[in-house]
Amino acid sequence: MTGAPHEECTMKTVKDYIRTIPDFPHEGIMFRDVTTLFADPRGLRLAIDQLLHPYAGVQVDKIVGLEARGFILGGAIAHQLGKGFVPIRKQGKLPGKTLSQAYTLEYGEAVMEIHEDAIEAGEKVLVVDDLLATGGTAVAGLKLLERLGADVIGCAFVIDLPDLGGRRVLEGLDMPVHCLCSYEGV
Ligand SMILES: O=P(O)(O)OC[C@H]1O[C@H](OP(=O)(O)OP(=O)(O)O)[C@H](O)[C@@H]1O
Ligand SMILES: Nc1ncnc2[nH]cnc12
């Protein structure tokens, strides 16, 4: 490589496909927007391949996706592994009998729900979402899965915001965490 413009490296990373929108949904929040990653076929494939990488050869029975962007990633991963997909949704969206769990996140409070018959005790599940910030969403999901007796083998995210501490919280629960990229600051 001589550094000449025509020799520019074209290998993009997952992070290269993510855009940042300042002050969304509130002033001071740097919103890490994965719609640009999902919209690009190479970006989407790269993200799915990299999310799956640590789980090659590992037994997984179901993929659990956290609303909303975890549904897109989790659905693609479940399809790739030939496994079923289970959604954890915001309150009031699931039609069957549910378990509920309240939680706080970077910019608010909410309640997550899962169908009580979605997972059998002892099933091995992988939890997927686009982004780990405070960890409130993921911990709420883990509490729901624990109540169902699921065996959670790990949590996979595209983005980690380390300054918000979610990774430390999950690792403090002895939960293996896999993230593809991170953004310092908030
Ligand atoms: O680690 P936390 O502090 O809990 O934050 C992470 C969560 O926040 C975002 O979702 P959001 O709650 O904005 O909901 P949406 O995906 O339905 O828009 C993101 O997709 C994660 O699910
Ligand atoms: N900064 C952020 N960007 C995108 N989604 C988020 N969820 C919580 N914090 C977020």
pLDDT tens by residue, 68-114: 999 999 999 999 999 999 999 999 999 999 999 999 876 678 999 99
Residue 68 CA to ligand 2 center (angstroms) comes to 12
> How many folded domains does the chain comprise?
1
pLDDT beyond 80 at 9 = no
Establish if 68 belongs to a structural domain: yes
The domain that holds 96 is classified in CATH as 3.40.50.2020
Q: Tell me: the pLDDT tens digits for 69-82? A: 999 999 999 999 99
Q: Count H helices, E strands: the chain?
A: 5, 9
The ligand that comes nearest to the alpha carbon of residue 142 is: 1
Active site residues: 69, 106
Burial of 40 (0-12, 13-18, 19+ CB in 10 A): middle
- Residues 23-36 as b/e (b if ≥16 CB within 10 A, e otherwise) read eeeeeeeeebbbee
Establish if 90 belongs to a structural domain: yes
User: Phi-psi region for residue 41, left (φ > 0), alpha (ψ -120 to 50) or beta?
Assistant: alpha
Percent of the chain with pLDDT over 70: 94
* Confidence band, pLDDT 50/70/90 cuts, at residue 126: very high
Residue 45 CA to ligand 1 center (angstroms) comes to 22
Check residue 3 and give its pLDDT: 47
Establish if 47 belongs to a structural domain: no
pLDDT beyond 70 at 185 = yes
Establish if 12 belongs to a structural domain: no
Q: Tell me: the pLDDT tens digits for 140-162? A: 999 999 999 999 999 999 999 99
pLDDT beyond 70 at 30 = yes
Nearest atom in ligand 2 to the alpha carbon of residue 186 is 1
Please check whether residue 135 is in contact with residue 162, taking contact to mean a CB–CB distance below 8 angstroms.
Answer: no
Q: Tell me: the pLDDT tens digits for 14-29? A: 999 999 999 999 999 9
Which domain does 90 fall in, by range?
A: 58-182
Rg, the chain, Cα only? 17
Establish if 119 belongs to a structural domain: yes
With a 6 Å cutoff on the Cβ, whether 131 touches ligand 1 is yes
Which residues pair with residue 181 across a beta bridge? 159
Give this prediction's pTM.
0.94
Establish if 173 belongs to a structural domain: yes
Establish if 122 belongs to a structural domain: yes
Q: State how far the Cα of 87 lies from the Cα of 90, in Å rounded to an integer.
A: 10
Establish if 124 belongs to a structural domain: yes
